[in-house]
Amino acid sequence: MKNPIENLNKIFDSRIRMGVMSILIVNEEVSFNDLKKMLDVTDGNLASHMVNLEENGYIKVHKGFIGRKTNTTYSITRAGEKAFKDHIEALENMIKGMK
Amino acid sequence: MFYKVLYMDSQHPPLETLQDIKRMMERSSRFISLSGWSGICAGICALLGAWAAQQRISAYLQVRRNGRTYHGENDYVSESAATLYSDLIIIAGITFITAFISAFVFTWLRSRRNGTPMWDRTVQRLAWNTILPMVIGGLVILRAIELHYFELVAPGCLIFYGLALVNASKYTLGEIRYLGYGQLILGIINLWSGVNGLYFWAAGFGILHILYGAIMWWKYERQR
């Protein structure tokens, strides 16, 4: 029998990274501040998770300006979308397997 | 079996994780604090407004029928069509404002209780996608009034509002789509029915709103 958890993506173990991916998959572009508010986390905490996701090629960073303030927004990449969908599928299979 | 042990060790069981994912997706893309009470209150305002307009119109018709003798010398002059229109526009304006404020208050209360921000990206998207068809519709109706196509006012309100709701359904509770379909059906029937549009207007803006609000309240807000 195949071990279902081998399909789970280690990167999405973190609740925050999983939350970021859930938000980005249904929204084209989300700013750092909006993510922070929706996930209720601190700047530093969120930033480190975002770097992790970016290094894995799951999200793209866009740096822009609103007036003189920097406005960083994020969007999901193809690879990120696929990885996240595979992760959800693995979770579903685990549930089916438990029944 | 060993993966079951592993799974027990992990902090987040899969079902809970999936529910979390679903909640984050919904919360970040739709405004879900729209209260059923908002619909009920807007519906009541609409019914009161339609009743006031009906009273005003029948008063006008009665004065016309009875002629100047009934109301004394100058009353007939003052009961001209122009004052009727301006009165009806005032009634419509008051109805819209009270309906909007009461709808806003209940949704604001609910969003505070849910702890979701009242003016975030989801609300901005919802507002823009609702207001745009309504403003365009308002302009079309305004022009219809200028051209004295009064039969088009009630169906115009229903149709453009219905389109606005169907459009809005992508950005808030999806069920609002059915309220939109209801308004559209009433509007289309009203286009050809030739019956007093006020009844259709009251059915759409009054009764359908109350019905929708009650169902939404029952489904999402009832304390169980």
Same-domain status, B125 and B194: yes
Of A3, A26, A37, the CB nearest to B25: A26
Q: What value of ipTM does the predicted structure carry? A: 0.80
For A39-61, the pLDDT digits (tens) are 889 999 999 999 999 999 999 99
Which residue, B91, B118, B145, sits at the end of a domain? B118
Query: Distance (Å, rounded) from C-alpha B68 to C-alpha B176?
Result: 49
Same-domain status, B190 and B141: yes
Percent of chain B residues past pLDDT 70, beyond the cut: 87
pLDDT at A6: 67
Query: A27 pLDDT exceeds 50?
Result: yes
Same-domain status, B79 and B131: no
Same-domain status, B107 and B56: yes
Which residue, B55, B89, B118, sits at the end of a domain? B118
Whether residue B219 lies inside any domain: the answer is: no
Asked if A58 and A80 count as a contact pair (C-beta separation under 8 A), the reply is yes
For B164-182, the pLDDT digits (tens) are 999 999 898 889 999 999 9
For the beta sheet containing A30-31, the strands, ordered from the edge strand earlier in sequence to the opposite edge, are: A30-31, A69-76, A59-66
For B33-51, the pLDDT digits (tens) are 889 999 999 999 999 999 9
Q: Which positions 29-88 of A are in contact with B (Cβ < 8 Å)? A: 30, 34, 37-38, 88
For B77-119, the pLDDT digits (tens) are 555 777 888 899 999 999 999 999 999 999 999 888 877 766 7
Same-domain status, B126 and B200: yes
Instruction: For helices A15-26 and B14-29, give the axis angle rounded to 10 degrees.
Output: 40
Query: B194 pLDDT exceeds 60?
Result: yes
Same-domain status, B126 and B96: no
- Tokens, residue B163: 């389109």
**What stretches of chain B show up as alpha helix (H) in DSSP?**
2-9, 14-29, 36-71, 75-78, 81-114, 121-146, 153-168, 176-193, 197-201, 209-216
Same-domain status, B123 and B198: yes
Tell me which residue of B143, B162, B164 sits closest to B152, measured CA to CA.
B143
Same-domain status, B104 and B127: no
Query: B202 pLDDT exceeds 90?
Result: yes
Whether residue B125 lies inside any domain: the answer is: yes
Whole-prediction pTM: 0.75
Whether residue B25 lies inside any domain: the answer is: no
Q: Give chain B positions within 8 Å (CB) of A30.
A: 28, 121
CA of B1 vs chain A CAs: smallest distance (Å):
9
Which residue, B118, B137, B161, sits at the end of a domain? B118
Whether residue B172 lies inside any domain: the answer is: yes
Same-domain status, B61 and B85: yes
pLDDT at A77: 94
On average, the pLDDT of chain B sits at 85
Side-chain-facing half-sphere of B199: CA atoms under 13 Å: 7
Domains and their CATH numbers in chain A? 14-90 (1.10.10.10)
**What stretches of chain A show up as alpha helix (H) in DSSP?**
15-26, 32-39, 43-55, 78-98
Query: B207 pLDDT exceeds 80?
Result: yes
Q: Do B3 and A4 touch (CB under 8 A)?
A: yes
Average pLDDT over residues A91-96: 86
B60, exposed or middle or buried, with CB in 10 Å at 0-12, 13-18, 19+? middle
Average pLDDT over residues A13-33: 89
More confident residue, B78 or A28: A28
State the total domains in chain B: 2
Greatest CA span in chain A, whole angstroms?
Answer: 58
Query: Which amino acid would we find at residue B181?
Result: Y
Percent of chain A residues past pLDDT 90, beyond the cut: 46
Same-domain status, B105 and B162: no
State which residues form the domain around B149: 119-204
CA of A55 vs chain B CAs: smallest distance (Å):
22
CA of A91 vs chain B CAs: smallest distance (Å):
5
Same-domain status, B181 and B168: yes
Whether residue B64 lies inside any domain: the answer is: yes
Tell me which residue of B151, B159, B197, B189 sits closest to B50, measured CA to CA.
B197
Query: Distance (Å, rounded) from C-alpha B8 to C-alpha A39?
Result: 25
